């Protein structure tokens, strides 16, 4: 549905350029989805660390992240897949921090993004 004068004019001309108001709405929805996904990952990570894998249930994660169970199902087919994704994100953050610390100390990074861990010796 047209939401601004520019959209109405473009539709009258037969062009498919999206209106400014529609763009703002789409970006707002995208930002909300990202925030929801981040909250889910954070909640699942907290549960995983404090109580182990058995605590990472859809109900517990949804409650802690303040989302509904369907929001979790949009990105992860199971609780196990969510736990694996949490571990993957934590691992990436750890490797990034180690690389940054090594560079700050003037050391060569021991990993490269395209080759993984390099053997030394």
- The overall average pLDDT reported for the chain is 78
Where are the domains positioned within the chain?
20-115
What letter does residue 117 receive in the DSSP assignment? E
Among the listed residues 87, 102, 95, 98, the one whose alpha carbon sits nearest the alpha carbon of residue 116: 95
Alpha helices in the chain (DSSP H): 5-13, 20-51, 58-65, 69-75, 79-104
pLDDT band at 5 (very low <50, low <70, confident <90, very high): low
**17: nearest Cα among 27, 2, 33:** 2
The candidate with the shortest Cα–Cα distance to 39, out of 18, 74, 16, 63, is 63
In whole angstroms, what is the distance from residue 18 CA to residue 11 CA?
9
Q: Which CATH superfamily is domain 20-115 in?
A: Tetracycline Repressor, domain 2 (1.10.357.10)
Q: Which residues pair with 112 in a beta bridge?
A: 116
Tens-digit pLDDT profile for residues 47-96: 999 999 899 999 999 999 999 898 898 889 999 999 999 999 889 888 88
Let me know: does 46 contact 83? Beta carbons within 8 Å.
Answer: no
């Amino acid at each position: 549905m047209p939401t601004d004068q520019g959209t109405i004019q473009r539709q009258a001309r037969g062009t498919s350029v999206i209106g400014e108001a529609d763009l703002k709405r789409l970006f707002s929805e995208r930002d909300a989805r990202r925030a929801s996904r981040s909250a889910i990952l954070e909640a699942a990570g907290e549960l995983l660390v404090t109580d182990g894998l058995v605590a990472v249930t859809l109900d517990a994660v949804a409650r802690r992240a303040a989302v509904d169970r369907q929001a979790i199902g949009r990105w992860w087919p199971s609780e196990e897949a969510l736990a694996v994704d949490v571990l993957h994100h934590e691992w990436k953050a750890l490797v990034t921090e180690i690389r940054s610390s090594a560079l700050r100390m003037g050391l060569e990074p021991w990993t490269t993004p395209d080759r993984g861990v390099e053997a030394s010796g």
